Amino acid sequence: MEMVDLYVGPNKVHFSVHKELLCNKIPYFDKMFKGTFQEAAVNSATFPEDLPETFDLLVEWVYSGTIRPLTMIPGPDPQQPSAYRLSYPCTQFYSLADKICMPELIDLIMSRFHQVWREWRFLPSLNSITETYSTTSEDSPMRRFMCMSYYYMASHGHEEHWPAESVSRALLEIDGLAADLIRLTRQTKGAVYHPSQISACNFHCHDKTAPCALRGNEMPVGFAAAPGYFGGSGHSFGVGIQVNMW
């Protein structure tokens, strides 16, 4: 069986993958390893700008057709809610799937991403919104998710956790956010939703006239966060919690 070598990140983390499988599954690699590029001659390619963790997930998807569930990992200090982060770099993985043009994978990642916010009832941090806007294209559904999170936090967040000063600064500093926010408020006529309160399909990129292949893929919602964590019943979304993506 012919293998290809992928070297990822500045430290060149090595992945060895079955060539036929990789090329059959992902046209981007088919062009790379079966065309006239240097990579095809040596069966090897480097991706210095990418995260090894995202390639680990990609290889998992190539072999298994699915990706592991996403969850929140607490930081070392339980008194520091902002220490929570996602169990893998989901938005970076999303950007990779976007770069290699795999809409089916993009939608699967979005479903995982949507699910974790639904379970944990937190909100992405302002830093995460900034990062998403700097790494995704203008019409990306991931931006739509972040814009909706921003709108929810701007209207429902407590001053203590989401100071109006920093929230307004984000609107000025994040290129494209203000325009997206105007489009969103026009679409919803001012109604505010936490993005995980509506179906994940709203953030899929597939043709909406076709049935959603991922419907029913969402796991039942349990209340994963510690009870009383928000000082309430736990039924409101985490307006006091900011989560950094990675």
Rounded to the nearest whole angstrom, what is the least distance from the CB of residue 66 to Zn ion in the complex?
A: 16
* Among residues 39, 204, 240, 242, the one that binds Zn ion under rule CB under 5 A: 204
Rounded to the nearest whole angstrom, what is the least distance from the CB of residue 128 to Zn ion in the complex?
A: 23
Question: If you count DSSP H runs as helices and E runs as strands, how many of each does the chain have, helices first?
Answer: 10, 7
The verdict on 114 binding Zn ion (CB under 5 A) reads no
| DSSP type of residue 188 | H
* Among residues 177, 201, 225, 245, the one that binds Zn ion under rule CB under 5 A: 201
Rounded to the nearest whole angstrom, what is the least distance from the CB of residue 218 to Zn ion in the complex?
A: 10
At 178, which amino acid appears?
Answer: A
**Smallest Cα–Cα separation from 57: which of 69, 71, 67?**
67
Distance CA 33, CA 20 (A): 10
Rounded to the nearest whole angstrom, what is the least distance from the CB of residue 213 to Zn ion in the complex?
A: 7
Mark residues 210-239: x for contact with Zn ion by CB under 5 A, - for none.
Answer: --x---------------------------
Nearer to Zn ion, 3 or 212 (CB): 212
3-8 and 13-18 strand pairing: antiparallel
100 by Cβ neighbours in 10 Å (0-12 / 13-18 / 19+) ranks as: middle
Nearer to Zn ion, 143 or 204 (CB): 204
Question: Which residues are near Zn ion by CB under 5 A?
Answer: 201, 204, 212
